[in-house]
Amino acid sequence: MTTKEQKNTVLIVSIITSFLTAFLGSSVNVALPSIQKEFNIDAVTLVWISSAYLLATATILVPFGRFSDIIGRKKTFFWGLIVFLTFSFLCAFSPNIQILIALRVFQGIGASMIFSTSTAILTSVFPQGERGRAMGLSVSAVYLGLTLGPVLGGVLTSNLGWRSIFWLNLPIGIFIIYLVNKKLGGLEWADSEGEKFDLLGTILYISGLLLLMLGFTRIQTPLGKTLAIVSIIILFVFIYTESKIDYPIIPMSLFFKNITFSLSNLAALINYSATFAIGFLLSLYLQYIKGLTAQNTGFILAIQPVVQAIFSSYAGKLSDRIEPRFVASFGMFLTAVGIFMLSLINSTTPFYFIYSAQILLGLGFAFFSSPNTNAIMSSVDKKFYGVASASVGTMRLVGQTLSIGIVTMLFAIHLGGTKFTPDLFPKFMSLTHSIWLGFSIVCAFGIFASIARGNIR
């Protein structure tokens, strides 16, 4: 039984960690043009700064979720934090783009250990009825990080260079380590302790998902098509073997017999697939087409997460009283409308129109994210909290990787390896319009998965 002080500490740790990881991701987006200029890289290589991190995180989230259920969620979280902080700091000293991308991979491994456990620990401590509020506060912290990331990232990039972004993680991370050791030293959550860890399933899962994502980003090439086909075969073998063993890393019954769990995860996958690349594309649009500085771009990109931070806590509490599927579906609808508005912008679009789209997107994300997570975590037994938490993160990160992967693929097809020059801007805008329109349609389909998931109460 956890005390009130320990529950509050868990919430504080979750909030700060959520802020930290979100801050880094959004601040790096603003710094991409500066990184491109320093290393003199093309558009496709530039995208890999984000893709490498997401790919590494997404492919090992579920194995770490299962691992944490067995050896302890706090232990996994703690060492994940150490890995994340170490390689974040090393990113600041990258001498070339190859080293930076490699360090981002290891940073992603640390992040996967954090993402697979933070929501599970929160769910282990807060019972249903309090859970939505706690998750709402944690999600608000994510959006606060997304808010301050572009702002502070823009300021730091403009004044101290892009490397300074990675320095900021260290003092915040050290404070989290202190809280975990000082306030939660005697606590641990390992509801599957003593069960076997499925090493074969882990290898099949990681290799299948990794090849699928790599193949998808190069699907226009023969190699990409081959990787995609091989990955599908591996994943089918993975599903078959997982259904035949006693202790799988992913219990297939969660997806095939729990409609709330499966459709909530599908809704999350659709939502993040349709939305993550928005920040990347909008950052390029504002700096290359509108001619804004990184700092001013950061201020504009902050509008959306400010709205999210304000309303996420309310949306989480609302999902404690109203069925989460209704709240989340409303959020998905607002998101689809916001993305469609972005598909209409051009070089002369007034800023108030862009602000309006940002506000709608912020409201949409706020009303979708924490209610959807609440539905997922409340639909499973506590021994599966690590796996369920990892599934939340996996759907988010696979969706984000697919989102960036779509952009990478389309950039490679339509823009090739050319640098961003004024001659390329009309083609860039035409491509961006098509991407945003497609994403809005995908998000609209996600509304149906969200509403069909069923009730948790």
Q: 308-332: per-residue pLDDT in tens? A: 888 988 888 888 888 888 999 999 9
Domain termination residue (choose one: 231, 246, 261)? 246
Residue 87 within any structural domain of the chain: yes
293 or 84, higher pLDDT: 84
Both 60 and 125 in a single domain? yes
Query: What's the pLDDT at 457?
Result: 59
Instruction: Say whether pLDDT at 41 is over 60.
Output: yes
Number of domains within the chain: 2
Domain membership flag for residue 287: yes
Statement to judge: residues 228 and 125 lie in one domain: no
State the Cα–Cα distance between residues 29 and 162, nearest whole angstrom.
10
* Predicted local confidence at residue 172, as pLDDT: 86
Indicate whether 175 and 123 sit together in one domain: yes
Q: Quick one: 386 and 438 in the same domain?
A: yes
Q: Is residue 339 part of a domain?
A: yes
Q: Is 222 exposed, middle or buried (0-12, 13-18, 19+ CB in 10 A)?
A: exposed
Q: Are 361 and 338 in contact (CB under 8 A)?
A: yes
Q: What percent of the chain has pLDDT over 90?
A: 23
Residue 37 scores a pLDDT above 80: yes
Q: For 424-456, how does the pLDDT look when each residue is reduced to its tens digit (9 = 90+)?
A: 788 888 899 999 999 999 999 889 888 887 666
Token pair of 302 as six digits: 């902050």
Domain boundary, last residue among 219, 246, 273: 246
| DSSP type of residue 195 | P
Q: Is the pLDDT of residue 418 over 70?
A: no
Residue matched to tokens 């994210």: 369
Between CA 4 and CA 182 the distance in angstroms is: 15
Statement to judge: residues 115 and 210 lie in one domain: no
In angstroms, rounded to a whole number, what is the distance separating the alpha carbons of residues 169 and 143? 17
Do 401 and 54 form a contact (C-beta atoms < 8 A)?
A: yes
pLDDT at 234: 95
In a domain, residue 334? The reply is yes
Mean pLDDT on 1-27: 83
The residue type of 17 is: T
Place of tokens 């492919």: 59
255 and 381 together in one domain: yes
pLDDT tens per residue, range 347-390: 889 999 999 999 999 999 899 988 888 888 888 888 888 888 88
For the segment 143-159, the average pLDDT, to the nearest whole number, is 81
- The Cα–Cα gap between 125 and 10 comes to 8
What CATH number did the domain enclosing 422 receive?
1.20.1250.20
Judge residue 26's burial from the number of C-beta atoms within 10 Å of its C-beta, 0-12 exposed, 13-18 middle, 19 or more buried: buried
Q: Is the pLDDT of residue 1 over 60?
A: no
The Cα 349–Cα 290 span in angstroms is 9
Higher pLDDT, 14 or 405: 14
* Burial of residue 1 (number of CB atoms within 10 Å: 0-12, 13-18, 19+): exposed
301 and 406 co-located in one domain: yes
**Domain assignment of residue 151, yes or no:** yes
What pLDDT, on the 0 to 100 scale, is given for residue 119?
Answer: 83
The amino acid occupying position 337 is V
pLDDT attached to residue 373: 87
Contact partners, residue 384, CB within 8 Å, separation at least 6: 69, 251, 254
Whole-prediction pTM value?
A: 0.78
Q: Which of 180, 213, 246 is the endpoint of a domain?
A: 246
Same-domain pairing of 238 and 89: no
Taking residues 413-432, what's their average pLDDT?
A: 77
Whether 181 contacts 9, CB under 8 Å: no
Secondary structure percentages of the chain, helix, strand, coil, to 5: 80, 0, 20
> What are 311's two structure tokens?
């309303």
- The reported pLDDT for the residue numbered 217 is 67
Same domain flag for 416 and 351: yes
Of 92-96, 229-233, 382-386, the one with minimum mean pLDDT is 382-386
Task: Give the model confidence (pLDDT) of 264-310 as tens digits.
Answer: 899 999 998 998 888 888 988 998 888 888 778 878 887 887 888 88
Contact 92, 163 (CB under 8 A): yes
Asked, for residue 255, whether it belongs to a domain, the answer is: yes
Do 137 and 171 sit in the same domain of this protein? yes
82 and 137 in a single domain? The answer is yes
Residue 219 scores a pLDDT above 80: no
Share of residues in the chain with pLDDT > 70 (%)? 97
Question: Do 260 and 454 meet the contact criterion of CB atoms below 8 Å apart?
Answer: yes
Does the residue 428 lie in any domain?
Answer: yes
Assess whether 445 and 311 both reside in one domain: yes
Residue 80 within a domain: yes
Asked whether the predicted pLDDT for residue 143 surpasses 80, the reply is: no
Residue range of the domain that includes 343 = 4-197+247-451
- Write down the pLDDT at residue 335: 95
Q: Look at residue 417 and tell me whether its pLDDT is greater than 90.
A: no
Point out the least confidently predicted range of 22-26, 77-81, 268-272: 22-26
Mean pLDDT of the chain: 85
